[in-house]
Amino acid sequence: MKFRRMSIEVESPEQLGYDSIRNNLAESSYTDALFRELDPGVDLRELVLCYGSHQGHEGLRELIVKGKPLTSGDVLLTIGAAAALFMIATSLLEKGEEMVVVHPNYATNIETPRAIGATIRTIGLRFEEGFALDLDKVRSTVTPNTKYISVTHPHNPTGACLDDAQLKELARIAEEKGIYVLVDETYRDMVFGPQLPLAAEYSPRLISISSLSKTYGLPGLRTGWIVCRDQQLMEILLAAKEQMHICGPVLDEELAYRYMLHRDAHFNRIKADIQEKFNIVKAWMENEAAELWEWVEPRGGCVCFPRMKDPGGIDLDRFYKILLEKYGTYVGPGHWFEMPRHYVRLGFGWPTASALQEGLSALVKSVREAVIAG
Ligand SMILES: Cc1ncc(COP(=O)(O)O)c(C=O)c1O
C-alpha cells in the first residue's frame, strides 16, 4: 500500500492548534465531551487492564444492537469508524480491483482504496441535484470487477440522507451482483427525520459502520464498530483487526459502555442543541448570507456544504486568510473533499451558539472583503 497524508488531516483544527481558532466551524462532530460528563462518580480503579475480547466489550456490543433483529455476534468494535473503513477496504479490495464510491466524501472512504491501488469509480453528488444519490448511476457503474459500493448516510460533507427505498435498492444491487455495500452511518443518530433501520438489517450484504465520535462528541474515546450479518466476512474483518491491534483499548471500551448505558439522556440533550444550532444556520442562510452564499439544506448530521454564489469575483486565498487571521474563523475548505474551494464545509454542531453566530457573520464579511477589485 502507498500511504499519503490527506489535507483534511494535515489541516485539521487539532493539527493547526485549537488555540489559534476562535470560531471553530471546521469540526464534523458535536461538541467534545468532558471526561466528567461520561458517568459521574464512576470508579475504574479495579478495571483489569488485560487483553480484552477481540470482538470488543460484550455489553457495549449488545447495547449497539439493542432492540434490533441483530445480535452482539454481528458487531465488531473498532478503533473509531476510521479503523472500520480501513479494515473493510483492505479486506475487500486488492490492487487493480474496483470499488464504487460517492464523491465528495470523507477522505478516507476514497483514500484507502487509492492507497491499495484499486480502481475508484466515483458517483458525483451535485449541488444542483440536492446532492441526491442516483442509484441508476450506481447500478450502471458496477462492473464484474467491483468488490463494494461505499455510501454515507447522513453524508459528510453535505448532510444529504438516504431513504428506505434507496437502502432496499442498494441491498438488491448487492445481492444481485454478489458484492457488498458499505454504509458509513457515522452520523446516523443525527438524522433530522424518522430513523431508518440500521443498514445491516436490510441484507447480510450491507455493512454498517459507526462510532461514538460524531453525535456524542467522543472522538477521543476512539470507539467505533462494524455491524454485519455475513459471518464469513466478519471473521475476515476480525482477522484484520487482530493483525492490527489484537483487541481494542479496554479502558475506552469500558467508558464507552458506561456512556451508552445512559445514551438516551445524553442524546436528548444533544439533539435539542443541534436543532437550535441548525436553526441559527438556517436563519443566517435565509437572511444575512442570502446575497453571497447558497446551500442545499442538510437532512441530518451537523455539517452542511454551502458555496459562494459568485466565486469568479472572489480571491479565494484572501478569503480564507481574512476568515482565519482577521476573524479567527475556521471552516473546512472545498479541497478537503477534492471539490472547488468556493465550497466550504460548515460544522454547526461543535461550536457554542455564540461562536457559531460570530463565525457565520465572518463568512459574509470575509467574502465581501475578498472581492477582486475592478
Ligand atoms: C463519514 C465519516 N466516517 C468516518 C469518520 C471517522 O470517524 P471516527 O474514526 O472518529 O469514528 C468520519 C470522521 O470525520 C466521518 O466523517
pLDDT per residue as tens digits for the range 138-173:
999 999 999 999 999 999 999 999 999 999 999 999
Domain C-terminal end among 200, 233, 262: 262
Q: Hey, CA dihedral for 355, 358, 364, 370, is it positive or negative?
A: negative
pLDDT tens readout for residues 61-80? 999 999 999 999 999 999 99
DSSP H helical ranges for the chain: 7-10, 13-16, 35-38, 58-64, 80-92, 108-116, 135-141, 164-177, 199-202, 231-245, 250-261, 263-286, 316-321, 353-369
- Residue 337 inside a domain? The answer is yes
- Residue 374 inside a domain? The answer is no
Q: How much distance in Å is there from the Cα of 82 to the middle of ligand 1?
A: 6
Tell me if 182 sits within 8 A of 88, measured CB to CB. Answer: yes
Distance CA 126, CA 7 (A): 22
* Average pLDDT in the chain: 96
Verify whether ligand 1 is closer than 6 Å to residue 211 (CB atom).
Answer: yes
pLDDT of the residue at 38: 85
Domain limits at 300? 7-33+264-369
Q: Does 39 have pLDDT greater than 80?
A: no
Residue 153, classed as helix, strand or coil, is coil
- Residue 1 inside a domain? The answer is no
Distance CA 56, CA 107 (A): 26
Verify whether ligand 1 is closer than 6 Å to residue 28 (CB atom).
Answer: yes
Q: How much distance in Å is there from the Cα of 162 to the middle of ligand 1?
A: 18
Domain C-terminal end among 262, 281, 316: 262
Q: What is the CATH number of the domain that holds 276?
A: 3.90.1150.10
Instruction: Kindly state the percentage of the chain with pLDDT values over 90.
Output: 96
Residues 230 and 300 in one domain: no
Mean pLDDT of 86-109: 97
pLDDT of the residue at 245: 94
Nearest Cα to Cα of residue 225 among 29, 114, 73, 32? 73
* Ligand 1 pocket mutation pick from 105, 191, 213 by most atoms within 8 angstroms of CB: 213
- Residue 146 inside a domain? The answer is yes
Distance CA 267, CA 260 (A): 10
Ligand 1, atom nearest to 29 Cα: 14
Q: Does 23 have pLDDT greater than 70?
A: yes
Distance CA 367, CA 281 (A): 17
pLDDT tens readout for residues 325-359? 999 999 999 999 999 999 999 999 999 999 999 99
Residues 100 and 23 in one domain: no
Residues 236 and 291 in one domain: no
pLDDT band, residue 40 (cuts 50/70/90):
low
Q: How much distance in Å is there from the Cα of 45 to the middle of ligand 1?
A: 31
Mean pLDDT of 25-31: 97
Q: Does 43 have pLDDT greater than 80?
A: yes
Distance CA 282, CA 265 (A): 26
pLDDT of the residue at 114: 96
- Report the number of secondary-structure helices (H) and strands (E) in the chain: 14, 13
Buried/exposed code over 287-305 (b: 16+ C-beta within 10 A; e: otherwise): ebbeebbebbebbbbbbbb
How many domains would you assign to the chain? 2
- Residue 39 inside a domain? The answer is no
Q: Does 42 have pLDDT greater than 80?
A: no
Mean pLDDT of 85-96: 98
Domain C-terminal end among 227, 262, 297: 262
pLDDT band, residue 202 (cuts 50/70/90):
very high
pLDDT of the residue at 154: 98
Q: Does 41 have pLDDT greater than 80?
A: no
